[in-house]
């Protein structure tokens, strides 16, 4: 009985240690870019900064893929037509409310489509958390994290270290979201 109680008492400690190890404790840790990016079956662009969709389209035009899935909600007909004129096959989902629903919608979209690899496009400050969630929910998919280049984003790593700045607020918000996801969607996501 004592061994069982000891083991049970260690679970929260192990959980906390795991959180401390993976927690984005600096603005630099928020940014995750995959190495050796290859062509993929699909480019998934998460909603948010408008430049994300532009960057995802650029990756298509550079022939990293020929299909794009946008999780950020409705797109105007004009935007869809402009993207299709460039030879891009685009689909989108209007039901996004969080990064977690983005990955669930993506999983539903790729079901029965023989998708084995995905390039994930999001903002730099969102890339670490998004990659971890997508990797956990889609473990059999080869996943490449390709966030917006910093010069195309509103996020500035150096400014994030200045209390009260825009980037600092984004950094702190992303840390809070990381903890929220860790507890809400189960530590196993991370």
pLDDT digits (tens, 9 = 90+) for 75-98: 777 777 877 887 778 887 777 888
Q: What is the CATH number of the domain that holds 65?
A: 3.40.50.620
pLDDT digits (tens, 9 = 90+) for 4-59: 776 667 767 666 666 667 778 788 888 999 999 999 999 999 988 778 888 998 99
Residue 171 maps to a domain: no
Residue 161 maps to a domain: no
pLDDT digits (tens, 9 = 90+) for 155-174: 999 999 999 999 999 999 99
Residue 31 maps to a domain: yes
Global pTM reads 0.85
Q: What residues make up the domain containing 116?
A: 25-154
Residue 185 maps to a domain: no
For the chain, the domain total comes to 1
Residue 20 maps to a domain: no
Residue 62 maps to a domain: yes
State the SS3 of 24-79: CCCHHHHCCCCCCCCCCCEEEECCCCCHHHHHHHHHHHCCCCCEEEECCCCCCHHH
Residue 4 maps to a domain: no
Residue 166 maps to a domain: no
Query: CA 115 to CA 100: how far, in whole Å?
Result: 19
């Amino acid at each position: 009985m004592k061994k069982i109680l000891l083991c049970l008492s260690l679970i929260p400690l192990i959980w906390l240690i795991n959180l401390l190890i993976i927690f984005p404790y600096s603005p630099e840790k928020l940014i995750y870019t995959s190495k050796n990016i290859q062509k993929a079956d699909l480019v998934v662009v998460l909603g948010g900064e408008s430049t994300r969709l532009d960057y995802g389209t650029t990756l298509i035009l550079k022939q990293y893929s020929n299909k794009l899935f946008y999780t950020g909600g409705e797109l105007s007909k004009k935007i869809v037509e402009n993207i299709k004129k460039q030879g891009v096959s685009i689909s989108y989902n209007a039901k996004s409310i969080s990064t977690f629903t983005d990955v669930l919608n993506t999983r539903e979209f790729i079901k029965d489509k023989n998708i084995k690899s995905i390039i994930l496009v999001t903002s730099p400050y969102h890339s670490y958390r998004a990659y971890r969630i997508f990797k956990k929910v889609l473990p059999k998919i080869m996943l490449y994290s390709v966030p917006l280049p910093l010069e195309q984003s509103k996020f500035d790593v150096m400014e994030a270290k200045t209390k009260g700045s825009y980037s600092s607020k984004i950094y702190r918000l992303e840390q809070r979201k990381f903890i929220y996801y860790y507890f809400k969607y189960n530590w196993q996501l991370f």
